[in-house]
């Protein structure tokens, strides 16, 4: 449903309420879009869609659409480097790094498939 991740930077560029030019932040956002270029570029042929990346979803007024996603942040140990694999078990997820370090966190990842929240 959300095939791409956009990494964005806001450097005091929003001047409307409530930001008033005071915001300075980084963001990660899961999307089905042609970046932040809007609806028309997303539903039109674009460089991402030409590569086979979906940049728009067709919605129906008579049919519900579910977007199941989980976001989180976890502290990693020194020399963790990059994630090599993920290990899923009941109610938890283990990130295994390219250096062999592991971090296990509680997460109800079953929600992605079931849509059910405990």
Q: What is the pLDDT of residue 72?
A: 86
Q: Per-residue pLDDT averaged across 38-66, rounded?
A: 95
In this model, does residue 32 exceed pLDDT 90?
yes
Token pair recorded at residue 31? 């999307």
> What local confidence, expressed as pLDDT, does residue 71 receive?
85
Select from 67, 60, 47, 52 the least CA-distant residue to 112: 67
How much is the pLDDT for 102?
97
- Please, what is the end-to-end C-alpha distance for the chain in angstroms? 22
Phi, psi of 9 (to 5 degrees): -130, 130
Residue 117 has pLDDT above 80, yes or no: no
**Following DSSP, what letter does each residue of 58-80 receive, concatenated?**
---TTS--------------TT-
The set of residues, in sequence order, having a beta carbon less than 8 Å from that of 39 and lying 6+ positions away, is 56
More confident position, 10 or 42 = 42
| Whole-number Å distance between alpha carbons of 17 and 8 | 20
Token pair for 16? 């409307």
At residue 50, the pLDDT reads 97
């Amino acid at each position: 449903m959300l095939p791409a991740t956009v990494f964005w930077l806001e450097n005091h560029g929003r001047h409307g309420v409530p930001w008033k030019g005071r915001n300075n932040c980084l963001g990660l956002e899961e999307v089905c879009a042609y970046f932040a270029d809007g609806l028309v570029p997303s539903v039109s042929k674009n460089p991402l869609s030409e590569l086979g990346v979906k940049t728009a979803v067709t919605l129906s007024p008579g049919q519900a659409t579910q977007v199941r996603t989980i976001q989180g942040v976890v502290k990693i140990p020194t020399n963790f480097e990059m994630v090599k694999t993920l290990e899923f078990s009941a109610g938890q997820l283990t990130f295994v790094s390219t250096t062999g370090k592991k971090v296990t966190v509680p997460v109800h990842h079953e929600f992605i498939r079931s849509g059910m929240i405990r």
